């Protein structure tokens, strides 16, 4: 029943047809014909002046109705039909002397009907076009939304979006990872997210930082699920902007890397154990070697002495490698400790350079520096220096010299090591301080190690409240810097 009502309303009510651009001229023609025949039937029962009034009123209403229902063409056809009917009335019933004035009136009325009809019809068609466009673009937006929703649900990552008002949307995968349903609104009192065992404040959350315009790339954090299980997440986030570049929301992707972390932990444990096991025999080998070298020297056995010296050199390298491995696993397990003392940095640099110069074919030039006292772990600072200088040597096969400088700037000591070697590409400069990172291209004449040195150096400097960085141009060389707070003299 309702269906029939709807259909009838759609057929007859022009307002229900707004947005429909199928226009009929048959409907106005047939309806007008029926109307005219009906009028002809009732004509004899009413006075001619009343009949005239009824015809004119109905004509105007029909023109408006058909123009609004079926547009410009229908308005035109209706006008022609009505004018035709007027002619029929004039020629069939008017006295001869009134025909001319009747025709004149008909032409005037016809013109008014036509103008009225065309204007209404044109307006109606314009409205239909606009409505159709609006419906189309709404449909397109809905289709796009549905497509994005499907993609989001299919992603293996958790996806979270938060708009400016704090409204949250999340995909199912995120709820699976976090083990909870997401709230509709961001909850700034949540204590579940942490980094390095410290609860993160809402302003530190990647999604909140992204809402302020920051791009967050692959940051690691921990999360405690409602079931008490602690998981590790790798999170990226970025702002979503409108056409005017204003931030309207932020999106964040979250990967569960708990398994990866566990595996890494087991690998670290293994490396730690293996390097501990290797340390003792290597120390013994070195001791035996030292006494063997002494004895061979006394016996003046030159040939064997050369071989033994080679073995001694390689054993030292092996020991350095094992020490680096141990340091890396100490850093990973938070067990790197320091024995701090007061010492002169400028003297340490000078002595280290003299010691290293013997094994380096480039000229190491010390540019001097003011007397600078530090309170730090002397051996660890020596380790950083050694690493930077041996790298400067390793990665500058064509270079002839290495420049080392100590400066004091704003209560900080800055040591710089400059080489004229292969350099570090701009995009890799941040990453060379990461664990096991090496610039991958094979460059002739360089002998990369395992990518541990700069990682250990960064950790040592960071733990002394200092900074380490590089300035470099590919093909021209690099300058590595580290800064440390100077010991205040009371
Ligand atoms: P490695 O044992 O590989 O030298 P490092 O951690 O000391 O490990 O250095 C990491 C990477 O950084 C190196 O593999 C090299 O690609 C790059 N690098 C370090 N120092 C320099 C330098 N002075 N010039 C050019 N590249 C360097």
- Ligand 1 pocket test target in 395, 416, 426, 431 with most atoms within 8 Å of CB: 395
Separation of 459 CA from ligand 1 center, angstroms?
Answer: 16
- Ligand 1 pocket test target in 402, 438, 444 with most atoms within 8 Å of CB: 438
Nearest CA, atom 8, ligand 1: 451
Residue 374: beta bridge partners? 343
Helix axes 48-93, 26-42, angle to 10 degrees: 110
- Rounded to whole angstroms, the Cα distance separating 384 from 467 reads 12
Residue 256: beta bridge partners? 233
Q: What 3-state DSSP class applies to 83? A: helix
Residue with the two structure tokens 């708009």? 163
Q: What is the pLDDT of residue 490?
A: 47
Nearest CA, atom 13, ligand 1: 438
Structure tokens, 262: 């566990």
CA torsion angle 37 42 46 48 (round to 10): 10
Separation of 444 CA from ligand 1 center, angstroms?
Answer: 14
Nearest CA, atom 9, ligand 1: 451
Structure tokens, 477: 């060389």
Separation of 453 CA from ligand 1 center, angstroms?
Answer: 8
Separation of 373 CA from ligand 1 center, angstroms?
Answer: 29
Of 311, 230, 326, 212, the closest CA to residue 275 belongs to 326
Residue 419 alpha carbon, nearest atom of ligand 1: 23
**Burial, 329: exposed, middle or buried (Cβ in 10 Å; 0-12, 13-18, 19+)?**
buried
Q: Give the torsion sign (CA, 431, 434, 440, 443).
A: positive
Ligand 1 pocket residues where CB is under 6 Å: 387, 391-392, 395, 419, 421-424, 432, 437-439, 448-455, 478
Of 371, 424, 362, 372, the closest CA to residue 393 belongs to 362
Strands across the sheet containing 477-485: 363-366, 401-409, 412-418, 477-485, 467-473
**Burial, 319: exposed, middle or buried (Cβ in 10 Å; 0-12, 13-18, 19+)?**
middle
Task: Identify whether the C-beta of residue 202 lies closer than 8 Å to the C-beta of residue 247.
Answer: no
- Ligand 1 pocket test target in 432, 433, 456 with most atoms within 8 Å of CB: 432
Residue with the two structure tokens 């409108």? 242
**Burial, 134: exposed, middle or buried (Cβ in 10 Å; 0-12, 13-18, 19+)?**
exposed
Nearest CA, atom 20, ligand 1: 391
Question: Cα 306 vs. chain centroid, distance in angstroms?
Answer: 59
Residue 79: beta bridge partners? none
Residue 480 alpha carbon, nearest atom of ligand 1: 23
Separation of 451 CA from ligand 1 center, angstroms?
Answer: 7
Residue 197, CA distances (Å) to 133, 194, 223, 224, 284 in order: 55, 6, 10, 11, 40
- Ligand 1 pocket test target in 331, 391, 451 with most atoms within 8 Å of CB: 391
Q: What is the pLDDT of residue 98?
A: 87
Separation of 422 CA from ligand 1 center, angstroms?
Answer: 10
Name the percent of the chain in helix, strand, coil, to the closest 5: 55, 20, 25
Nearest CA, atom 23, ligand 1: 392
Question: Cα 114 vs. chain centroid, distance in angstroms?
Answer: 60
Residues lower than pLDDT 50 in the chain: 490
Separation of 220 CA from ligand 1 center, angstroms?
Answer: 24
Separation of 478 CA from ligand 1 center, angstroms?
Answer: 10
Separation of 270 CA from ligand 1 center, angstroms?
Answer: 25
Task: Identify whether the C-beta of residue 105 lies closer than 8 Å to the C-beta of residue 89.
Answer: no
- Ligand 1 pocket test target in 398, 430, 451 with most atoms within 8 Å of CB: 451
Separation of 322 CA from ligand 1 center, angstroms?
Answer: 18
Separation of 418 CA from ligand 1 center, angstroms?
Answer: 13
Separation of 271 CA from ligand 1 center, angstroms?
Answer: 21
Can you give the three-state secondary structure of 43-62, one letter per residue? HHHCCHHHHHHHHHHHHHHH
Q: What 3-state DSSP class applies to 240? A: strand
Residue 223, CA distances (Å) to 15, 270, 384, 419 in order: 57, 26, 34, 44
pTM of the model: 0.59
Q: What 3-state DSSP class applies to 320? A: helix
- Percent of the residues in the chain that have a pLDDT greater than 70, as a whole number: 97
């Amino acid at each position: 029943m309702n269906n029939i009502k709807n259909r009838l309303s759609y057929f007859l009510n022009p307002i229900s047809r707004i947005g429909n651009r199928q226009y009929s001229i048959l409907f106005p023609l047939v309806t007008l014909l029926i109307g005219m025949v009906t009028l002809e039937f009732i004509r004899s029962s009413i006075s001619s002046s009343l009949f005239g009034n009824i015809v004119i009123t109905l004509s105007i209403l029909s023109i408006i109705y058909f123009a609004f229902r079926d547009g410009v063409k229908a308005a035109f056809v209706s006008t022609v039909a009505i004018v035709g009917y007027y002619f029929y009335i004039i020629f069939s019933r008017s006295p001869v002397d009134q025909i001319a004035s009747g025709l004149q009136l008909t032409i005037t009325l016809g013109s008014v009907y036509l103008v009225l009809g065309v204007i209404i019809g044109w307006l109606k068609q314009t409205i239909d076009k606009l409505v159709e466009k609006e419906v189309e673009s709404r449909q397109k937006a809905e289709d796009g939304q549905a497509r994005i929703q499907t993609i989001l649900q299919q992603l293996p990552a958790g996806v979270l979006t938060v708009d400016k008002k704090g409204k949250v949307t999340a995909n199912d995968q995120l709820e699976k990872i976090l083990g909870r349903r997401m709230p509709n609104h961001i909850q700034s009192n949540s204590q579940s997210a942490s980094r390095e065992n410290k609860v993160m404040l809402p302003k530190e959350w990647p999604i909140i930082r992204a809402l302020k315009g920051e791009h967050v790339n692959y940051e690691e954090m921990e999360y405690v699920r409602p079931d008490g299980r602690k998981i590790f997440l790798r999170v990226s986030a970025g702002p979503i902007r409108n056409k005017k570049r204003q931030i309207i929301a932020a999106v964040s992707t979250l990967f569960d890397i708990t398994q990866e972390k566990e595996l890494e932990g087991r690998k670290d444990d293994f490396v730690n154990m293996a390097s501990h096991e290797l340390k003792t025999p290597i120390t013994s080998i070195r001791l035996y070697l030292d006494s063997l070298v002494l004895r061979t020297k006394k016996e003046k056995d030159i040939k064997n002495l050369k071989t033994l010296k080679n073995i001694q050199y390689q054993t030292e390298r092996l020991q350095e490698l094992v020490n680096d491995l141990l340091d890396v696993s100490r850093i990973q397990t938070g067990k790197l400790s320091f024995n701090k003392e007061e010492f002169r940095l400028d003297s340490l640099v000078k002595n280290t350079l003299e010691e290293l110069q013997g094994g380096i074919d480039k000229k190491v030039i010390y540019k001097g520096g003011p007397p600078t006292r530090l309170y730090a772990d002397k051996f660890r600072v020596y380790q950083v220096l050694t690493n930077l200088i041996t790298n400067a040597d390793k990665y500058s096969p064509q270079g002839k010299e290495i420049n080392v400088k100590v400066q004091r700037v704003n209560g900080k000591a800055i040591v710089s090591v400059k080489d004229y070697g292969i350099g570090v590409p701009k995009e890799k400069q941040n990453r060379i301080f990461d664990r096991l990172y090496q610039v991958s291209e094979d460059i002739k004449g360089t002998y990369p190690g395992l990518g541990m040195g700069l990682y250990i150096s960064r950790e040592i400097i960071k733990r002394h409240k200092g900074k380490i960085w590089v300035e470099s141009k590919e093909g021209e060389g690099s300058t590595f810097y580290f800064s440390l707070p100077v010991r205040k003299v009371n």
